[in-house]
Amino acid sequence: MDEAEDQKPRSATQTEEGASGGQNPEITFTEKEMATQAFQNIQLRQKMARLFQQYRNKGPEPIFKKYQVRVTSNPHAVKDKISVTVTKKEKVVLLSVENNGTKQVYFTLQTFDFVKNIFTVRDCDGNIIKAINDHLLRPRESYKMKIHFSSDHSGLYEQLLFFKFERGHQRSETFDIMRLLEVIRRTPQSKEDSHAGSKVVKRFQTIRKTPLTGCETNLTPVVHLRKYRLPKNIENTEELNRNLEERKLNWRNYAWRFHLLLHLEEYEICAALMKCNRDEVLLITHQSENYMLLLKADDILNNCNVVLTGCDVLVTPLNEQNEKEEKISYKGWVEDVDEEQIYLRFDEIFPEDFIKGVRCKLVFLLQRMPLRMQHRAAALACKHGLKGLLFPVGPYSTQRSCLMPVTAKFVRTPMLENNPEQQKAVRHILARSAKPAPYLIFGPPGTGKTVTLIEVIKQIVLTQDSNILVCAPSNSATDHLCEKILKENIVPHEVFRLYCLSYKVDKIPEIVKMHCSFNPATSTFEIPPKKDLMSYKIMVTTLQTAGRLVTGGVSPGHYSYIIVDEAGQAVETECLIPIAGLLKPLSGQVVLAGDPKQLGPIILSTIAQRNGLGEQHAYSVGQCVKV
């Protein structure tokens, strides 16, 4: 661990004044005191450095897998270290202790400051916390805190946060989580920098977000997407909860149940967004993008427990000179959020007043498209008769101890020679032996789930004339899959990566750029016509964007295989978006890969969480292989 600059010692003038008068008892005492303190600091640093290094060598993953407890931060920790660079004298770092398990835990926080009077720990209300001892965290509860940094002097400052946990009967299980907070305080380069902080300006590709009917899509809507508005009785949560508990999940109430769970979740998200609204907040234009407004993240994120990126916003400037004048409102969306600022994008170019800052009313609005896609998926699952996939019986139930022997054509490759479990999974997927039930590939990180999926795709291309749809919940996971497919050189000219229209261009991997429909001349993504989309053998996209294929009328059965990676990180209705609209259950095979023991999707509604919205029903009904 690097050394930090200590606060300035006692005034040098005192030392010089005493030097001419011979020995000064007070100065001698101060020097001894400082020497002793310095020696103690070195010993403490060495001890804590050894302790932290031992903790880092073990890694955090085993702790979270076993106990489902973690410490998150904004900015995020990299290898258990939270690194921050500032030019201002103060900085706030947000931390959250989260219990995602099924048992209650107690935690104690110890802090070790290598430089005194630099860091303070505060609760969400700003009260200083001197110690946290035996704080109870029930299942699904979290404890939020802020670490305040303050120093007038440049240097590197560190604070070690040591969380001790106890769990189980008589608190017999104990474990630790550590975080090293490292703040680099730099001297501003100019007077302008001292006011503006870091002068690194975030750049954005000038790409416009457009509605489904915008000019960048050539995919004509065929399958209707309803609004699925909140029911009038949604506030009567007690009655709705009783209805859910009395009517357990089955095929007959499948659509009704998931419609209600999604409505309950939407209600909680809207309530959380309302807490982020502000009657008056300062907004300024971006330095290089005059259709973008910025506001300080601390003004919003301190009390926010919902993802803001992608939400719509309504901004109304406050006209103090003439209150009777009709107010103009601007509608945009949240383009990005980082630890310092929230970036709001609009179709308008703002007047010069916004350069210096304008006080506005700010309202966050839920972007309902993802939820509408999930509602439609629940409805289509029933319309298209996916009972055999969602509720398999007889030979498809999990009561069968092993899979039936299969004789599908198989090409031997070096990748699977030494792994019989992966080879068995590939053979059975090729034979579609699990259909109509999904085939499940599960295991902890690093066990080869993605490698198995890539081999499955390669074998399908080599042995069958079939189309494949490959999906994942997030763009990063989807890009990772697409990169792997292209690096394996699996029919690269027949691989297409379908992006949503608002995706950030600078995040596209280089190898993928030639396999998507970004138009550099217009700086826009384009969605090709249905005929062009259906010409690709391998379609790679996110679960949500796959809804475009459903809306565009790609026929069920066009894809013989629908493969979903990281399925455990999505709610069931999200996984259903491509499946319910594009699968022909009697001939198509669904493959789900993931780790059901990992942290699943974040559900705000406790009723929806308790009644299964955050669970994957498929993990209890499909054919399984552990890799």
Give pLDDT tens digits for 161-184.
889 999 877 778 888 888 888 887
Question: What average pLDDT does the segment 105-124 reach?
Answer: 81
Residue 447's pLDDT band, with cuts at 50, 70 and 90, is confident
Considering the chain, what is the average pLDDT of its residues? 80
Residue 332's pLDDT band, with cuts at 50, 70 and 90, is very high
Contacting residues for 350 by C-beta, under 8 A, at least 6 apart? 285, 290, 291, 293, 330
Q: Which among 223, 237, 225, 231 has a CA at the least distance from the CA of 256?
A: 231
Q: How many residues does the chain have?
A: 627
Task: Give the separation between CA 145 and CA 93, rounded to whole angstroms.
Answer: 9
pLDDT of 372 reads 97
Q: CB-side exposure of 274: number of CA atoms within 13 Å?
A: 6
DSSP state of 415: G
- Among 107-111, 419-423, 614-618, name the one with the lowest average pLDDT: 614-618
Could you tell me if 342 and 295 are in contact, meaning their C-beta atoms sit under 8 angstroms apart? yes
Task: Give the separation between CA 282 and CA 336, rounded to whole angstroms.
Answer: 17
> Which residues are paired to 341 by β-bridges?
296
Could you tell me if 181 and 75 are in contact, meaning their C-beta atoms sit under 8 angstroms apart? no
Task: Give the separation between CA 285 and CA 70, rounded to whole angstroms.
Answer: 37
The 10 Å Cβ neighbour count of residue 508 is 20
Contacting residues for 405 by C-beta, under 8 A, at least 6 apart? none
- Among 37-41, 156-160, 254-258, name the one with the lowest average pLDDT: 37-41
pLDDT of 34 reads 53
Task: Give the separation between CA 605 and CA 266, rounded to whole angstroms.
Answer: 8
pTM (predicted TM-score)? 0.67
Name the burial class of residue 402, with classes exposed (0-12), middle (13-18) and buried (19+) by CB atoms within 10 angstroms of its CB.
exposed
Residue 14's pLDDT band, with cuts at 50, 70 and 90, is very low
Residue 324's pLDDT band, with cuts at 50, 70 and 90, is low
Could you tell me if 488 and 513 are in contact, meaning their C-beta atoms sit under 8 angstroms apart? no
> Which residues are paired to 623 by β-bridges?
439
Task: Give the separation between CA 509 and CA 523, rounded to whole angstroms.
Answer: 16
Q: Which among 236, 574, 511, 139 has a CA at the least distance from the CA of 376?
A: 574
pLDDT digits 0-9 by tens, 218-260: 888 999 999 999 999 999 999 999 999 999 999 999 999 999 9
Q: Which among 475, 464, 471 has a CA at the least distance from the CA of 537?
A: 464
Task: Give the separation between CA 334 and CA 208, rounded to whole angstroms.
Answer: 13
Could you tell me if 382 and 254 are in contact, meaning their C-beta atoms sit under 8 angstroms apart? yes
Q: Look at the block and give the residue holding tokens 């940094």.
A: 149
Question: What average pLDDT does the segment 383-406 reach?
Answer: 64
Q: Which among 529, 545, 552 has a CA at the least distance from the CA of 216?
A: 529
Alpha helix ranges (H) inside 152-305: 191-196, 237-246, 254-276, 298-301
Task: Give the separation between CA 485 and CA 565, rounded to whole angstroms.
Answer: 13
**In this model, does residue 107 exceed pLDDT 70?**
yes
